[in-house]
Amino acid sequence: MSKLPQAPLVEVVFELKWDINTQDKMEKFRFLPGDLATELKQIFPWRESLVPVEIPLEIMVHKPVFRHRVAAGGYPLFQVGPGIVSLNFSNDVYFWEVFEQKASVVIEKLFSCYQFTDDDVLTPALTYIDFFGLDFNSRSAFEYINENFSFRFIQLFDSQITHPSEINLGFSWRERDNNISGMIHSGFNAEGQSGIIMQTKCSAVSLKAGKRQLIEWLNQAHNRLSSLFKGIIQEHFYESFK
């Protein structure tokens, strides 16, 4: 197993959504959180409820309701809510081989606890979040991006704008049955350091319910986003993470 020793990675998220659009499906879901908690207790023993018990599940469709961690405040973690399951890794515990193995276990247990039908359509997504530290007061974000990324910020309308305090750029496109997107914006990391946050994401338009298909898709999404990251980052900048 290997990864960039100085990787700018903050978090990796695998998210799986499916329709909960009838009362019967909502009733079917109600058993899933408890069943999954039992099946995955050995891996994720620490449990958290994310919403008060009086909040009806019907307004929480595609939002996490329960979170399960390896330890209090620790990663990895998985979350479950009506029509959604996610797996989250932070950089300090992330290796692709470990992430894939844990994702395969979560997928396996999900399919054993929740009986999908032939009509169910799944929407998986894989997201990488990276952070690049930058003091916006001492260095121009335009200059930093133009030097280190494979795109350019050029503005010709006001010569006074040399050190923007905020930036926000998004892009997306369709590749066969997937949507690829990226977002770059100013922000802060967990330690309060200012910088540039980059989020790259691959999401399937739709996928028929199937464990093998999901795991194959996950590997393809990982390969595509790895290639995209290397394309966005200039070579000398990428080498600085080794």
Amino acid 69: pLDDT: 96
Amino acid 2: pLDDT: 60
Residues 6 or more apart whose CB falls under 8 angstroms from that of 54 comprise none
Q: Which two tokens stand for residue 15?
A: 């998210």
Amino acid 142: pLDDT: 86
Domain ranges of the chain: 7-115, 119-242
Dihedral sign from CA coordinates of 67, 19, 32, 114: negative
Chunked into runs of 10 residues, the chain (242 residues) has average pLDDT values of 81 96 90 94 94 88 96 95 97 95 96 89 96 92 92 77 83 94 94 96 88 93 96 94 88
Q: Which two tokens stand for residue 162?
A: 């040399």
Are residues 25 and 119 in contact, defined by beta-carbon separation less than 8 angstroms? no
- Kindly report the pTM of this predicted structure: 0.93
Q: How many other C-beta atoms can be found within 10 angstroms of the C-beta atom of residue 236?
A: 9
As a CATH number, domain 7-115 is 3.30.310
Are residues 106 and 40 in contact, defined by beta-carbon separation less than 8 angstroms? yes
Residues 6 or more apart whose CB falls under 8 angstroms from that of 145 comprise 151, 152, 153, 167, 184, 196
